[in-house]
């Protein structure tokens, strides 16, 4: 067994929005390092100030560094067939997987975490942070919080853990894999016929009826989880399933929309959870007596026009706070503070004074409208373009008069530039508040290849 021992430094920031600033990987054959790779990475995004202070890596240092896609092939080569080893492997593996997801590549590795291993093989240490642990063990560590220094120290720590692992528990117990249980031959055959790609899958019973619909970034892996799980629902599905069909979607947004639409259409026996509405709060707007556009978080209500929707109140509150900061809106008019006078941001000069009528409604509403134009696709005619099911294909989602019309796939641009051809490639779907929520939430959190605004009569 060979290991790819690595460390990654990132920009910091929101979960799954971080970028890599530095990476170091040492390929280790169990006795010695046989290959190594280290590089600064241009993350194409800003670095959090506290991270700059911690690592010493700043944007100027990364200006001429390679971007991730330029080193991706080398990372694939040096990790091929190896188990990923890192101090807090869950973090490093998530960051790498996210970067490869952005490139449309399925990067999937078994992982070992030296934090977990050390806690089991060297118990009762005062701390298991990398710096304190290796210092306690007499392992040299230079360039702390830099990828190469931390990765070198992790190599030496892992060597020590291999020596201490007299029962070979590292191989037997800590490699993170799907459970290798005895799977019924029928289920094993089903798994082998499915792809390790993103899409929607359909479980059928002996009569051919659909009993479950799901989506996954890796259909084969997800089915393996279904067919090895011990919970009551999974066991019932294992007994009932006779065959599985699937449709590749190329990206997660199409998968989410298709899954939601198909569950509503077929109402499978084991899909009770997703039959329900997936959001509970919405952001609305109104014009007050002075002419200012106000924003307001409210309970989801089909009778009221929503700018965008949220799964829970905390998500709505966090997003509204970001919106207020991004567009320099007033906290009081933004519905964030229920004060009667000036808002807090006015006192620190982050609000231009709409709350005390120092900024005119006309001037203030321009920024609110900028937000509305970006966040809401109400009354818009647009296409959302993203990855397709193979490298030459693209997916397209059609929004017409602010309504979701469906999606399709194309290879040539003229197919979406010609209204008649565009209509023929679109797979019609129901426009409902769930589909709107899925699209708005996805676009808030993820990047797509591009969005294209259409003239009102283009797709009609």
In this prediction, residue 395 has a pLDDT band, given cuts at 50, 70 and 90, of: very high
- Map residue 388 onto helix, strand or coil: coil
Mean pLDDT to the nearest integer, 197-226: 93
Alpha carbons 4 and 85: distance in angstroms, whole number: 6
Of all helices (H) and strands (E), which one includes residue 227? helix 219-228
For residue 175, what pLDDT is reported? 41
> Residue 53: how many CB atoms within 10 A of its CB?
10
At 6 the three-state DSSP class reads strand
Asked whether 413 and 452 are in contact (CB, 8 A), the reply is no
Distances (CA, A) of 234 to 65, 197, 226, 418: 47, 22, 6, 46
Percent pLDDT > 70 in the chain is 94
pLDDT at residue 168 in the model: 64
Tell me how far CA of residue 273 lies from CA of 198, 227, 278, in angstroms. 21, 19, 9
Q: What is the mean pLDDT of the chain?
A: 88
Cα–Cα dist 454/381, whole Å:
5
Instruction: Let me know: does 40 contact 65? Beta carbons within 8 Å.
Output: yes
Q: State residue 179's pLDDT score.
A: 40
Assess contact for 423 and 396: CB atoms under 8 A. no
- Positive or negative, the Cα torsion across 311, 313, 318, 322? positive
The pairing of strands 382-387 and 394-400 is antiparallel
Residues facing residue 453 across a β-bridge: 382
Minimal CA–CA distance to 16: which of 112, 91, 67?
A: 91
Cα angle 432, 433, 439 (rounded to 5 degrees) comes to 95
270 band by pLDDT with thresholds 50, 70 and 90: very high
Q: Is there a contact between 385 and 452 (Cβ–Cβ < 8 Å)? A: yes
The 210-216 sheet, strands edge to edge: 210-216, 199-204, 243-248
Cα separation, 152 vs 26, whole angstroms = 8
Q: Are 6 and 16 in contact (CB under 8 A)?
A: no
Whether the per-residue pLDDT at 368 is higher than 90: the answer is yes
For residue 39, name the pLDDT band (cuts at 50, 70, 90).
very high
**Residue 397, burial from CB neighbour count under 10 angstroms (0-12, 13-18, 19+):** buried
**pLDDT above 60: residue 444:** yes
pLDDT band at 162 (very low <50, low <70, confident <90, very high): confident
- Site of tokens 């920009």: 11
Kindly report the backbone phi and psi dihedral angles of residue 398, in degrees, each rounded to the nearest multiple of 5, phi listed first. Answer: -105, 125
Contact between 408 and 277 under an 8 Å Cβ cutoff? The reply is no
pLDDT of residue 55: 92
Burial state string for 63-90 with b = 16 or more CB within 10 A and e = fewer than 16: eebeebeebbeebeebbeebbbbbbbbe
Q: What is the mean pLDDT of residues 219-234?
A: 91
Question: What is the tens place of the pLDDT at every residue in 309-367?
Answer: 888 899 889 889 999 999 999 999 988 877 778 998 998 988 999 999 999 999 999 99
Q: How far apart are the first and last CA of the chain?
A: 59
pLDDT band at 293 (very low <50, low <70, confident <90, very high): very high
> And the tokens for 268?
């499978």
Buried b (16+ CB within 10 A) or exposed e, 4-43: bbbbbbbbbeeeeebbbbbbbbbbbeeeeeeebbbbbbbb
In this model, does residue 180 exceed pLDDT 50?
no
- Of the pLDDT bands very low, low, confident and very high (cuts 50, 70, 90), residue 117 is very high
Residues, the chain, total? 460
Cβ atoms 215, 201 nearer than 8 A: yes
Tokens of 67: 């971007």
Q: Is the pLDDT of residue 20 over 90?
A: yes
* CA torsion angle 399 277 205 196 (round to 10): 60
| Helix/strand/coil for 318 | helix
CB-based burial of residue 380 (10 Å sphere; 0-12 exposed, 13-18 middle, 19+ buried)?
Answer: middle
At how many degrees (to 10) do helices 185-192 and 219-228 cross?
170
Q: What is the pLDDT of residue 173?
A: 46
Between residues 401 and 215, the one the model is more confident about: 215
Is residue 278 very low, low, confident or very high in pLDDT (cuts 50, 70, 90)?
A: low
pLDDT of 380 reads 81
């Amino acid at each position: 067994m060979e290991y790819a021992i690595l460390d990654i430094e990132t920009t910091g920031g929101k979960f799954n929005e971080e970028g890599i600033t530095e990476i170091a990987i040492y390929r280790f054959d169990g006795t010695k390092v046989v290959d190594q790779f280290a590089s600064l990475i241009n993350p194409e995004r800003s670095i959090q100030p506290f991270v700059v202070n911690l690592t010493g890596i700043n944007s100027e240092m990364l200006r001429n560094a390679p971007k991730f896609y330029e080193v991706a092939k080398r990372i694939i080569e040096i990790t091929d067939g190896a188990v990923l080893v890192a101090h807090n492997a869950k973090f490093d593996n998530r960051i790498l997987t996210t970067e490869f997801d952005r490139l449309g590549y399925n990067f999937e590795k078994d992982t070992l975490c030296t934090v977990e291993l050390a806690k089991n093989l060297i118990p009762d240490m005062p701390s298991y942070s990398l710096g304190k642990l290796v210092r306690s063990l007499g392992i040299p560590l230079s360039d702390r919080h830099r990828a190469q220094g931390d990765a070198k120290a992790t190599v030496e720590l892992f060597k020590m853990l291999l020596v201490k692992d007299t029962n070979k528990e590292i191989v037997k117990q800590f490699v993170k894999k799907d459970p290798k249980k005895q799977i019924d031959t029928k289920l094993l055959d089903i798994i082998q016929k499915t792809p390790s790609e993103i899409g929607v899958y359909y479980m059928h019973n002996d009569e051919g009826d659909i009993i479950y619909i799901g989506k996954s970034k890796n259909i084969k892996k997800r089915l393996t989880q279904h067919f090895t799980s011990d919970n009551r629902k999974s066991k019932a599905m294992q007994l009932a399933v006779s065959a599985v069909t699937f449709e590749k979607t190329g990206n997660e947004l199409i998968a989410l929309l298709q899954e939601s639409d198909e569950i509503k259409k077929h109402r499978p026996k084991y899909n009770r959870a997703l039959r329900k509405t997936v959001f509970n709060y919405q952001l609305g707007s109104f014009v007050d007596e002075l002419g200012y556009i106000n924003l307001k978080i409210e309970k989801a209500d089909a009778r009221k026009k929503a700018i965008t929707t949220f799964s829970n109140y905390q998500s709505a509150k966090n997003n509204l706070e970001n919106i207020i900061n991004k567009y320099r809106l007033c906290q009081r008019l933004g519905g964030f503070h229920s004060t009667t006078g000036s808002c807090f941001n006015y006192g620190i000069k982050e609000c231009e004074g709409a709350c005390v009528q120092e900024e005119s409604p006309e001037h203030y509403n321009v920024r609110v409208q900028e937000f509305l134009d970006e966040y809401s696709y109400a009354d818009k005619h647009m296409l959302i373009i993203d990855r397709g099911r193979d490298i030459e294909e693209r997916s397209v989602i059609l929004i017409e008069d602010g309504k979701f019309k469906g999606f399709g796939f194309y290879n040539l641009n003229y197919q979406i530039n010609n209204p008649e051809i565009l209509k023929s490639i679109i797979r019609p779907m129901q426009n409902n508040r769930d589909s709107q929520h899925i699209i708005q939430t996805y676009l808030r959190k993820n990047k797509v290849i591009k969005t294209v605004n259409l003239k009102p009569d283009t797709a009609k």
